[in-house]
């Protein structure tokens, strides 16, 4: 079973920017209800796209500088990276179809 990768400021470059496949980065917090609702969707995507895309999670409470760098003003915020560049951005609760549509154009 493939799971989301926890990413910190120290591992962001290697896990996201230098990744050899698309990455969805979930900026979240433990107290965020919509963030919790996104967990099963992101878990499904991580499993279905295993080997083709990565789901990464950034806890904004622990990684404030990283959240600030990407101007995260509300959560959940989901940023899609491909070849080191942000190519899509979603805010709030998203459907699985919206996220997989973004990934399908990249894989």
Q: Which residues are marked as active site?
A: 32, 35
CA dihedral over 61, 97, 92, 17, signed as positive or negative: positive
Distance CA 85, CA 74 (A): 21
CA dihedral (67, 72, 78, 83) positive or negative? negative
Q: CA torsion, points 34, 87, 102, 5, in degrees to nearest 10?
A: -60
Token pair of 94, please? 């998203």
């Amino acid at each position: 079973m493939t799971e989301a990768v926890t990413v910190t400021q120290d591992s962001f470059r290697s896990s996201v920017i230098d990744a050899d496949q698309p990455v969805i980065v979930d900026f979240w917090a433990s107290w965020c209800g919509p963030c919790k609702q996104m967990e099963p969707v992101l878990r499904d995507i991580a499993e279905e796209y295993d080997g083709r895309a990565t789901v990464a999670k950034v806890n904004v409470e622990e990684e404030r500088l990283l959240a600030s760098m990407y101007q995260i003003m509300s959560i959940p915020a989901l940023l899609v990276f491909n070849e080191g560049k942000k190519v899509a951005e979603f805010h709030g609760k998203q459907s699985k179809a919206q996220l997989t549509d973004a990934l399908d154009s990249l894989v």
